[in-house]
Structure 1
Amino acid sequence: MSSKDIRLLSKALPLALLLLSVASPALAQALPPPVAQADDSAEDARLKRLFYDSDEASLKRNPVSAIFRGDLRYADRLGDQLSDAYIAAERAAAEADLRGLKAIDRARLTPVDRIAYDVFQNQTQIALRGLSPEIVALTIVRPIDHFFGFQSFYPEFASGIGGAPFKTLADYENNLKRNAQYAALLDEAIVRFRQGMKTGVVQPKLVVRNMIGQFDNLIKEGVETSTFYGPVKTFPAGIAAADQARLRSAYAAQIRDVVLPAEQRMRDFLANTYLAAARDSVGLSGMPGGDRLYAYLIESNTTLPLKAEEVHQLGLSEVARILKGMEAQKVAVGFKGSLPEFFTFLRTDKQFQPQSAAQLRDGYFAIGKRIDARIREQFSLIPKTPLEIRAVPPFKEKTDAGGSYQGGTPDGSRPGVFYYNTYDLPSRYMWEMETLFLHEAVPGHHFQISVAQENQALPAFMRFGGNTAYAEGWALYAETLWPELGMETDPYQRMGGLNDEMLRAMRLVVDTGIHAKGWTRDQAIDYMLANSPMARTDATAEVERYIAIPGQALAYKIGQLTISRTKAKAKAALGDRFDPRAFHAAVLDTGALPMPVLEAKIDRWIAAGGK
């Protein structure tokens, strides 16, 4: 998955949401038990064992997470994240983890383990609140949506080119077992939907119609052209011809007799029963208990206990500030029309449209070289993992983002990759290239993900996990380093940077507008079009994403503003002693921290003289 949309969500949410917590780079195998370091106390050893045992138990409850990490011990299972037993087990595990944590004397831990203690405590406490009966009652009965439904994740996962491995005969057999469980989960989701119909906790009609369209697309694939048939179109060496024939027959029969009928049942239920009961409103404020759920989602996504109104007002102020910057760039290039007319110019003038895929490729390579020449002025902590620049593969370029990042492996055997998209070349505006590279590649996601996973002193949940506010906040903060790294000296490229920042600022306004202030879909789209050069298609997709997954889009700007605020505090306190290289190392070297933990860490760093 793209790190651009890393979404590390609460274990309280359904499987299709939980699966997005595994966007981190894959591990080669299951992690071994922790080994004591030279300066570890008995308390450090206890803490690391708690982390290890918690992770091991979680992987067993959430087997797809293990598969993404290369751990195939539970690869014949998909998990049953919609059951009452699963929710109870997650809640019991969180409570037990917090009890175990409380029994450890934090004062006796090493500095790194104190941070790990704080991160684990923060994440587990927030997750536990999401597992409370009152929140579960508002989430479990809306088990899928068009953005994070089983139907939007699992077919690709099981397609032969997704996250599931297909190297051995056992891999193929395990996939058959998971496919059957996928069908069962769809039926279980219908049961949950019916429960929500009784309490009035239902999805918006817009979301339901989008899901119906998704199931229509899956159903019309048929059998041998089904995404699920992909693994048996080709086989790796070592699987006998007889087994290949048997598997092709088994996959076809399962698709025909199990998978397609389950998808048809869900499609018919949504169209013939659920749609009529779904709500006309698009925001959570129009759903019973929605205000309470939205308050929780704001905190779980931003890691801060913010109120919807303060987030909304913050967004409005950021939009106003960025608009002034856009006006300045319009003046700088000598454009005589209004700002909306300037937006149209940026979207339509051919000078901003690449003439070939090679032009994009060469442009990104040149940007990378320019940043490399300056990066050590701002960073002393440089990841060992190499970075490659590649075009998005043709098979998925139509639906992929304009730019994305895929993490490498901790041992460097697989590089990190910045992907640029060459599909529909006129829409790949060249004025957005520099900010896109800063965000997705260097010093954005490539630095943040690689530095963390290379730090073997960190526990697994800090090396490979994290939260959206930090991960996306860092990438957005990385864009603000354009002056120091010699980027965006051209007014059009600076406009690209402002446009990218504007999207994240508008999200604060629009997400809270939809879910706390009763905004309609069209009202939200119109707001985004009025304040940016976005195309209507993009604005529509963004708004429908916010409708489906409330609160997630808030994390980007909140994270960036938090990092920027801690930097300003450090510069004011340290004066001439402030070294940006040391500051960036302090922010990066312990992985993706919740915002309160990050602020506390930087406060201690300032008190120690910025060293």
Structure 2
Amino acid sequence: MRATTHLPTLASLLLASVAIPVAAQAPGAATTSEAAPAPGEGAADARLRALFHDSDEGSLRRNPVQALFRGDMRYADQLGDFFSDAHIAAEREAARGDLAALATIDRAKLTPVDRIAYDVFRQQTELNLRGFAPDLVALSIVRPLDHFYGIHTFYPDLASGQGAAPFKSVADYENNLKRNAQYAVQIDAAIARFREGMKSGIVQPKLVVRNMIGQLDNLLAGGADQSPFYGPVKTFPAGIAEAEQVRLRVAYMRQISEVLNPVQQRLRDFLQNDYLPVARDSVGLSAMSGGAKLYDYLIESNTTLPLKAEAVHALGLSEVARITREMEAQKTKVGFKGTLAAFFAFLRTDKRFQPSSAAQLREGYEAIGRRVDGRVREQFSLVPRARLEIRPVPAFKEKTDAGGSYQSGTPDGSRPGVFYYNTYDLPTRYMWEMETLYLHEAVPGHHFQISLAQENEALPAFMRFGGNTAYVEGWALYSETLWPQLGMETDPYQRMGGLNDEMLRAMRLVVDTGIHAKGWSRDQSIEYMLANSPMSRTDATAEVERYIAIPGQALAYKIGQLTISRVKADAQKALGARFDPRKFHAQVLDTGALPMPVLEKKIADWVKAGGK
């Protein structure tokens, strides 16, 4: 479960460190100015805002596809250069320049809100810069794709007519053809990087390679007219002349047949014939030369805290034990007489919990949404303007995709936020997990947090449209804990679904560190997850293979949730009857995704001010 748009940034493709929720502006808008100064802002605030603006503009020029996801069409004919030495050097130098400029601004002279922005920018930029250390880049750039963050996992959807790219004019269709051509160039560049890794001995696990081969087989299945890339020309918006439609269909068919399918076939054959034989049998980073140092960095970059693998592992074991006791209580409540393991088997296999159709899932989620909407304002004074749609995961990636995910909409509402639910292996999409999944991915989880951030024009762009995994996923997991206040999980089986999802995040602390720091195998990790939860083998397998592909990312959920829950408990204790959950949630949500240390300080300052 995640809130991501798989953008090929160094943070994702090179280091797989942060799944950034990408927001959007109104189509055609340009991010060329910051919000007007607020009362009380002085010269230092103006300089800080100018730095944020210039930094963001530079980032969009270097990573133009990020602008496209925002709805900023200035670079709509460009995809970006992800794998070159020049791009890496430019990102590194930009981070150094931003920190140097930040150091010239007196933090003490800033407004309280801009002090928060200053702290977020410094913490994130310093952490990103550490990721550009030559030894870490050398371990990452030669593994440019995996089955979770590879360009082949996000770009076909972007170009399909069903993703974030607009297809409203002839120019939109032409821009897409240009991006498609650049996609082919980047695939070849990725192959070249893989070959460098073959020489240096830094390679992906065989498991990851086989999964990528399977994804490419799905993309190549059927004729050119069955390709996701043909999607935009299957239907056209009103206003595009028939002659243009004919011309564009021919152009798209030719590009798919002569450029896109051949390059994807080239990548597929390279992975199968050249790379797979030399890929490693091991799955953890600790088995790779230099991998332990890389994992240390990935833990901190994902959690925003300087944690060590051993401490995270121990925390996970403690949380697993606590949640197990709560699961035992639910088992007793429903009158099940067997062991907890037998109860898990019952939840996995009893037909009453298995959807009979994909439509039943959709209708169920829509009904849950209506129930949550009826209660959510009891806990939230801030509610986003953005609409929410509920859709199935696209078929070409459903096998390796999460059980649920979220894609952000636009601040102006022209594109809704989307909650994706997975229908692959339908009998394993248990209905007892639906309520908690909705709370996490939709309302008040990712849809609230991401939409409120991007709709807040008072924030600098990097806070509206960026983030860190610990906050983004920590908030979504925290949202699951609001089930009593929102009238969810009153059925003990749905409550087991909530505990199962919480258990998943606790097990991630154990299994991710087990794989990458303790030498755990894939099968050992899967069996651990099945022994401690009622999740299906399909889900457990996808989860474990995800941790193998993107080390450290899965740690952020529980670390973030525990931090938010702890600061809430501290605030409740300090404020007593003055504590208002609506005001607390507004404090957490109204400044975008904060690193955990910055969030803790913000809430502590709010409590000192009386929780007003």
Is TM more than 0.5 here? Answer: yes
Kindly indicate whether residue 392 of structure 2 is the aligned counterpart of residue 392 of structure 1.
yes
Higher mean Cα deviation, 258-267 or 240-249?
A: 240-249
Shift of 1:317: 0.6
| Rounded Cα–Cα distance in structure 2 between residues aligned with 1:406 and 1:320 | 33
Kindly indicate whether residue 576 of structure 2 is the aligned counterpart of residue 567 of structure 1.
no
Kindly indicate whether residue 13 of structure 2 is the aligned counterpart of residue 14 of structure 1.
yes
Contact 1:16 1:150 in 2 (8 A): no
Give 1:208's aligned residue: 209
Shift of 1:402: 4.6
Higher mean Cα deviation, 476-485 or 527-536?
A: 476-485
Contact 1:13 1:139 in 2 (8 A): no
Change (3 A) 1:140 1:445: same
Matches within 5 A, 1:256-275: 256-275=257-276
| Rounded Cα–Cα distance in structure 2 between residues aligned with 1:426 and 1:273 | 37
Deviation string, structure 1 residues 205-242 (Cα, Å, up to 9, x no partner): 11112222223333343433332233233333333444
Shift of 1:8: 8.6
| Rounded Cα–Cα distance in structure 1 between residues aligned with 2:263 and 2:561 | 43
| Rounded Cα–Cα distance in structure 2 between residues aligned with 1:186 and 1:396 | 18
Change (3 A) 1:551 1:156: same
Deviation string, structure 1 residues 234-266 (Cα, Å, up to 9, x no partner): 333333444333333333332233223322322
Matches within 5 A, 1:145-544: 145-354=146-355, 363-364=364-365, 367-379=368-380, 381-385=381-385, 387-388=387-388, 390=390, 392=392, 402-418=403-419, 426-544=427-545
Shift of 1:491: 1.8
| Rounded Cα–Cα distance in structure 2 between residues aligned with 1:453 and 1:521 | 38
Contact 1:82 1:189 in 2 (8 A): yes
Contact 1:463 1:591 in 2 (8 A): yes
Change (3 A) 1:416 1:274: closer
Read off the aligned partner of 1:266 and give its amino acid letter: L
Contact 2:453 2:463 in 1 (8 A): yes
Contact 2:147 2:212 in 1 (8 A): yes
Higher mean Cα deviation, 485-494 or 474-483?
A: 485-494
| Rounded Cα–Cα distance in structure 1 between residues aligned with 2:224 and 2:377 | 54
Where relative contact order (Cα < 8 A, 6+ residues apart) is larger, the structure is: 2
Higher mean Cα deviation, 394-403 or 65-74?
A: 394-403
Change (3 A) 1:568 1:6: farther
| Rounded Cα–Cα distance in structure 2 between residues aligned with 1:239 and 1:486 | 48
SS in structure 2 of the partner of residue 21 of structure 1: coil
Higher mean Cα deviation, 168-177 or 85-94?
A: 168-177
Deviation string, structure 1 residues 104-137 (Cα, Å, up to 9, x no partner): 1111111111111111111111111111111111
Deviation string, structure 1 residues 154-181 (Cα, Å, up to 9, x no partner): 2222222223222222222222222222
Contact 1:386 1:412 in 2 (8 A): yes
TM-score (norm 1): 0.93
Shift of 1:456: 2.0
Contact 1:8 1:467 in 2 (8 A): no
| Rounded Cα–Cα distance in structure 1 between residues aligned with 2:315 and 2:356 | 39
Kindly indicate whether residue 141 of structure 2 is the aligned counterpart of residue 121 of structure 1.
no
Give 2:135's aligned residue: 134
Higher mean Cα deviation, 534-543 or 219-228?
A: 219-228
Contact 1:16 1:153 in 2 (8 A): no
Consecutive unaligned residues in structure 1, runs of 5 or more:
none
Change (3 A) 1:40 1:172: same
| Rounded Cα–Cα distance in structure 1 between residues aligned with 2:537 and 2:206 | 21
Read off the aligned partner of 1:90 and give its amino acid letter: E
Deviation string, structure 1 residues 346-384 (Cα, Å, up to 9, x no partner): 1222333456667656654554454445434433x2314
Task: Give the aligned CA root-mean-square deviation in angstroms.
Answer: 2.6
Shift of 1:202: 0.7
Higher mean Cα deviation, 41-50 or 171-180?
A: 171-180
Contact 1:3 1:406 in 2 (8 A): no
Shift of 1:403: 4.2
Change (3 A) 1:115 1:492: same
Read off the aligned partner of 2:57 and give its amino acid letter: E
| Rounded Cα–Cα distance in structure 1 between residues aligned with 2:367 and 2:217 | 44
| Rounded Cα–Cα distance in structure 2 between residues aligned with 1:256 and 1:419 | 30
Give 1:605's aligned residue: 606
Give 1:588's aligned residue: 589
| Rounded Cα–Cα distance in structure 2 between residues aligned with 1:87 and 1:338 | 54
Identity %: 71
Contact 2:209 2:271 in 1 (8 A): yes
Contact 1:7 1:468 in 2 (8 A): no
Contact 2:327 2:496 in 1 (8 A): yes
Deviation string, structure 1 residues 433-481 (Cα, Å, up to 9, x no partner): 3222322233222321232223221111112221111111111111112
Give 1:61's aligned residue: 62
| Rounded Cα–Cα distance in structure 2 between residues aligned with 1:420 and 1:264 | 29
Shift of 1:298: 0.7
| Rounded Cα–Cα distance in structure 1 between residues aligned with 2:580 and 2:233 | 56
SS in structure 2 of the partner of residue 236 of structure 1: coil
| Rounded Cα–Cα distance in structure 2 between residues aligned with 1:364 and 1:75 | 34
Higher mean Cα deviation, 220-229 or 470-479?
A: 220-229
Shift of 1:558: 0.7
Shift of 1:401: 5.2
SS in structure 1 of the partner of residue 142 of structure 2: coil
Change (3 A) 1:469 1:115: same
| Rounded Cα–Cα distance in structure 1 between residues aligned with 2:459 and 2:483 | 30
| Rounded Cα–Cα distance in structure 2 between residues aligned with 1:149 and 1:362 | 32
Change (3 A) 1:451 1:493: same
Matches within 5 A, 1:73-152: 73-152=74-153
| Rounded Cα–Cα distance in structure 2 between residues aligned with 1:216 and 1:422 | 20
Higher mean Cα deviation, 61-70 or 433-442?
A: 433-442
| Rounded Cα–Cα distance in structure 1 between residues aligned with 2:14 and 2:174 | 22
Change (3 A) 1:282 1:571: same
Read off the aligned partner of 2:593 and give its amino acid letter: A
| Rounded Cα–Cα distance in structure 1 between residues aligned with 2:42 and 2:259 | 54
| Rounded Cα–Cα distance in structure 1 between residues aligned with 2:241 and 2:416 | 33
| Rounded Cα–Cα distance in structure 2 between residues aligned with 1:68 and 1:534 | 33
Change (3 A) 1:561 1:59: same
Give 2:31's aligned residue: 31
Deviation string, structure 1 residues 549-580 (Cα, Å, up to 9, x no partner): 11111111110011111112222333333332
Read off the aligned partner of 2:31 and give its amino acid letter: L
SS in structure 2 of the partner of residue 201 of structure 1: coil
